[in-house]
Amino acid sequence: MAGDPLIEEQELDFWGQTRAESAAAGESAQKPLSVSELNRRVRSLLEAGFPQVWVEGEVSNLRSPSSGHVYFTLKDEQAVIQIVLFRSDATRLSIRLREGAAVIVRGRLTVFEARGQYQIIAAEVQARGEGALLERLEALKRKLAAEGLFDPARKKSLPAFPEKVGLVTSLKGAVIQDFLRILERRAPGLEICVRDVPVQGALAARAIAAAIRAFSGPPAVDVLVVARGGGSLEDLWPFNEEVVARALAECPVPTVSGVGHETDFTIADLAADLRAPTPSAAAELIARDWSDWRAEVAQLRTRGERAVARVLELARERLARLAGSPFFHEPRRLILRWQQTLDEEEEELGRSLQRAVTIKRERWEYLVRHWKSLRCEEQIRRRSEQVGQWAARLAALSPEATLQRGYAIAFDEEGSILRVASPDLIGREVGVRLASGRFDARVLRLPPGDSQASGEGEPG
């Protein structure tokens, strides 16, 4: 490094002095630097020399504490470096960090002075290679799932007996041969329509989507299969494109996705009505083996024959019971019996009515006798006489009757009845009520005998 002119120039610019001068600033035992000062100078040197770097590697030791910052190690086969992603930058990430993901980090190189450890303060993290494809795949899954393209409620059922099968695949390769061989063995006689499309490359997705839409119109097929053999994620990528997913979701024909091997999983598998683990499995799903159908038809035939025989046996037994019924042997006797029963019911009804009338009549006669025994008219007359006597007594005791006998009632100025002749009444006006009419008078004097007794009470 001593012969590197770039390093020498940086050192000269950083220290701002010659080598002879720098010896006095920390290159001699007489004037040593502290650890903190050394780390601070190294940090300044690194930040000045590497203001921005792009580094690729694999995520390891991923940590995300409650502060919201993200810490992880970026490693390759031979070395590691610490990465710090502060919360403000972590919230803007377009990918989801996970252990083992291949990423590219953009940031600035610095030193964590407390530990003397150099690290990268990241500003951006991008997925790389297959990791980038996986991130795109997850993002598209979330988008289409939010739109309801993968909703099980919209999935269509496959027909039990398809007569015409549509196949979207490449005519190059073993997929088409295996598919046709299985259908010929399991369901010979099926009509198969094939549309040859590229299943790999930049133009494959649009070609596959166009073929799917072409099968949506006439001539119509009963079921549509999209098939391809296994491969890497990049090889299967056309079946992860949005245009293919939307074409499968919009197809009015029941669709089956048979893409890749059993462990492969694409967006086409989610958008189709049914996923088959392999193209060969797709052929087996859409066409059940005719030998199985023959065995099931034979079982149904046996069950049907037994059911019909049981129904006939029950019908014969019922017919035998009806044939042995007395109605068919002696219908006149049954009619006469019913007439006799009707006559008996009629007589019983007449007797019930007669008993009810007799009971009601006896009850009425009892009430009449009881009424007469009470002698109500005489009691009413006696009560009337008593009421008349009480009315005469009340009339004799009333104030009006007293006034009629020549008495009068005196009132003071406030209208209260005067009951005592007191001296304070002299000179005051009083009202006098007679049997007929009333008048006002003034008290002039009291008789001698009354004046002595007047002090015993007050008017009231």
Domain ranges of the chain: 33-128, 160-288, 408-456
Sheet (strand 438-442) strand order: 409-411, 429-433, 438-442
Measured CA to CA, the distance from residue 21 to residue 27 in angstroms comes to 10
pLDDT of residue 14: 43
The tens-digit pLDDT sequence of the chain (460 residues) is 334 333 334 444 444 444 444 454 566 777 888 888 888 888 888 878 788 899 988 888 999 998 889 999 999 888 999 999 999 988 888 778 888 788 889 999 998 888 888 899 999 888 776 666 777 788 888 999 999 999 999 999 998 888 899 999 999 878 899 999 998 888 888 899 999 999 988 899 999 999 999 998 777 899 999 999 888 777 888 999 999 999 999 999 999 999 988 777 889 999 999 999 999 999 989 887 777 777 788 889 889 999 999 999 999 888 888 777 776 667 777 788 888 888 889 889 999 999 999 999 999 988 888 877 777 777 788 888 888 888 888 877 777 777 777 788 888 888 888 888 888 888 888 888 887 888 888 888 888 765 544 444 444 4
Q: What would be the CATH architecture of the domain defined by 160-288?
A: 3-Layer(aba) Sandwich (3.40)
Q: Which helix (H) or strand (E) holds 224?
A: strand 223-228
Terminal Cα distance for the chain, rounded: 138
Phi, psi dihedrals of residue 122, rounded to the nearest 5°: -80, 140
Concatenated DSSP letters for 377-403? HHHHHHHHHHHHHHHHHHHHTSHHHHH
H helices, E strands: number in the chain: 16, 13
Fold that domain 33-128 belongs to in CATH: OB fold (Dihydrolipoamide Acetyltransferase, E2P) (2.40.50)
Hey, which residues does 109 pair with through a beta bridge?
A: 120
Contact partners, residue 452, CB within 8 Å, separation at least 6: none
H-state helical runs in 60-193: 87-90, 130-147, 175-186
pLDDT of residue 451: 53
pLDDT of residue 265: 83
What is the pTM (predicted TM-score) of this model? 0.44
pLDDT of residue 254: 94
Phi, psi dihedrals of residue 172, rounded to the nearest 5°: -90, 125
Structure tokens at 27: 């290159």
